[in-house]
């Protein structure tokens, strides 16, 4: 599966976002080395702070199925943004902890723009738990 196809999976699941408050839908898709795709969308709460982002729903779901860092070969996020979507800081922290630093992260929008990053570029010097 190439990056366009992975972004397509993120666009598909984005339609299932539950966003009655912000109306801002986000989709995420994660590809494993054995070709499995795990997806997530943002889920909002009337108690706004309980909202969960698409990226974390996707990553945590994959991990719940037994996926681990070394299994993940690509991660894609998409929203209806002007430029490629920019993940929030909390999700960057989680991506940095759950996905290898050299794994491609595709940030996309509905116009077909896809930017490729490594998580180390998106959150340098993150809290990695090594002091815990």
- Taking CB under 6 A as the criterion, which residues in 6-35 touch ligand THU? 19, 22, 24, 26
Residue 125 backbone phi and psi in degrees, to 5: 55, 45
SS3 assignment, position 53: coil
Produce one character per residue of 98-125: b if its CB has 16 or more CB atoms within 10 Å, e if not: bbeeebbbbbbbeeeebeeeebeebbee
- Taking CB under 6 A as the criterion, which residues in 79-108 touch ligand THU? 87-88, 91
Q: Would you count residue 109 as binding ligand THU (CB under 6 A)?
A: no
Q: How far is the CB of 123 from ligand THU (least distance, A)?
A: 12
55 is catalytic: yes
Please identify, using beta-carbon distances, which residue of 2 and 10 lies nearer to ligand THU. Answer: 10
Among 42, 59, 78, 84, binds ligand THU (CB under 6 A): 42
Positions touching ligand THU (CB under 6 A) are 19, 22, 24, 26, 42, 44, 51, 53-55, 87-88, 91
**Active-site annotation, residues:** 55
């Amino acid at each position: 599966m190439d990056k366009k196809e992975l972004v397509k999976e993120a666009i598909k699941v984005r339609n299932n976002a539950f966003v009655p408050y912000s109306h801002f839908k986000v989709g995420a898709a994660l590809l494993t080395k054995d070709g499995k795709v795990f997806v997530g969308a943002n889920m909002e709460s009337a108690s706004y702070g309980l909202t969960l982002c698409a990226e974390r729903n996707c990553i945590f779901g994959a991990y719940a199925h037994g996926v681990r860092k070394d299994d993940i070969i690509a991660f894609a996020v998409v929203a209806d943004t002007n430029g490629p979507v920019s993940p929030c800081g909390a999700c960057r922290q989680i991506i940095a902890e759950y996905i290898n630093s050299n794994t491609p992260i595709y940030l996309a929008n509905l116009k077909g723009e896809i930017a490729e990053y490594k998580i180390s570029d998106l959150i340098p010097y993150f809290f990695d738990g090594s002091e815990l």
